[in-house]
């Protein structure tokens, strides 16, 4: 009997808009791997049952997206260190009836910056992170792992930023929402983790003319690719990295674990997503 093709899935609700099937499908096709990666929408009541069902069916694992990242974390038997610190999982691997959880968002964030600005280093100065939701947690963990000396954190609802500061320790300093511009002083990395700028709407209350010329600006929003923040940054001569690459890079560890080969994030992959 020939070995069955490896299977993986992405679970979420809704799932129709997920780009993950396109990007894993691109890798499977271009690398000649006889596997499948499929989107599955699960109801609120059926997440855990669904995960068990995939294990029974012999799936190698799954990506998990909103709103199930915390439940994916909770159902796992073992976790990577970064998943433990982020407190949520986006990548599950099934082995011998056990579930291993990873969170590859911090990895995706860092690899995107390193790919597009090869001389970028988190170590060269403080980071300024805007937003204090789930994406912010992953990016804070990434920045700390990459050696950022300080993370300045601003959120519209200050209490949420304070909660993250209490949790992640003395490297985090909470900044008032109205103090974003002075907080740019000396910053190596500016990151928007809020949904501001999605669909081109809304702008952060920040004047990028005050930033050092070496500041690298990035956004987790990638619709549009050139968000109002990135547009404003390039207008004053700052280097920018769009958010699509974070999505592409975060998919790499899961693909490796399930399909056994390391995929590349290149222009062909970007174009596959952009034209889909």
For residue 190, CA distances in Å to 30, 58, 211, 224 come to 35, 42, 9, 18
Whole-angstrom Cα Rg for the chain: 19
> Which residue has its beta carbon closest to ligand ATR?
133
**Cβ closest to ligand ATR, residue 134 vs residue 245:** 134
Q: Which of 19, 69, 171, 213 is catalytic?
A: 69
| Residue nearer to ligand ATR on the CB measure, 25 or 133 | 133
Confirm whether 69 is a catalytic residue. yes
CB of 165 to ligand ATR, least distance (A): 14
127 near 154, Cβ under 8 Å? no
CB of 39 to ligand ATR, least distance (A): 19
CB of 273 to ligand ATR, least distance (A): 19
Q: What angle do CA 138, 144, 148 make, to 5 degrees?
A: 130
Cβ–Cβ under 8 Å, residues 106 and 249: no
- Quickly count helices (H) and strands (E) in the chain: 11, 12
Place of tokens 């068990």: 52
Is the Cβ–Cβ distance between 75 and 99 less than 8 Å? yes
50-87 core/surface letters (b: 16 or more CB in 10 A; e: else): bbeebbeeebbbbbbbeebbebbbebbeebbebbebbb
Cβ of residue 106: shortest distance to ligand ATR, in angstroms? 13
**87 vs 133, which CB is nearer to ligand ATR?**
133
Kindly list the residues in this chain that would bind ligand ATR in the complex (CB under 6 A). Answer: 131-136, 155-157, 160, 193-196, 202
Nearer to ligand ATR, 106 or 155 (CB): 155
For the annotated catalytic residues, the residue numbers are 69
């Amino acid at each position: 009997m020939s070995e069955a093709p490896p299977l993986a899935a992405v679970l979420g609700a809704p799932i129709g808009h997920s780009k993950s099937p396109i990007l894993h499908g691109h890798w499977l096709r271009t690398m000649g791997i006889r596997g499948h990666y499929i989107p599955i929408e699960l109801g609120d009541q059926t997440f855990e049952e669904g995960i068990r069902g995939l294990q029974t069916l012999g799936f190698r694992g799954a990506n998990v997206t909103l709103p199930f990242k915390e439940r994916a974390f909770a159902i796992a038997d073992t976790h990577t260190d970064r998943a433990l610190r982020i407190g949520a999982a986006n990548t599950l691997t099934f082995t011998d009836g056990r579930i291993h959880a990873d969170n590859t968002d911090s990895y995706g964030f860092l690899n995107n910056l390193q790919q597009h600005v090869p001389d970028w280093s988190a170590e060269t100065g403080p980071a300024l992170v805007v937003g204090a939701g789930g994406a912010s947690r992953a990016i804070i963990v990434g920045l700390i792992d990459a050696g950022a000396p300080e993370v300045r954190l601003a959120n519209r609802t200050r209490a949420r930023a304070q909660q993250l500061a209490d949790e992640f320790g003395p490297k985090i300093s909470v900044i008032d929402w109205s103090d974003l511009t002075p907080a740019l002083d000396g910053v190596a990395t500016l990151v928007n983790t809020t949904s501001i700028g999605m669909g081109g709407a809304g702008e952060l209350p920040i004047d990028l003319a005050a930033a050092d010329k070496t500041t690298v600006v990035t956004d987790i929003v990638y619709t549009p690719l050139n968000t109002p923040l990135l547009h404003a940054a390039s207008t004053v001569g700052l280097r920018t990295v769009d958010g699509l690459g974070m999505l592409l890079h975060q998919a790499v560890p899961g693909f490796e674990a399930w399909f056994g080969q390391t995929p590349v994030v290149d222009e062909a992959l970007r174009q596959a997503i952009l034209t889909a």
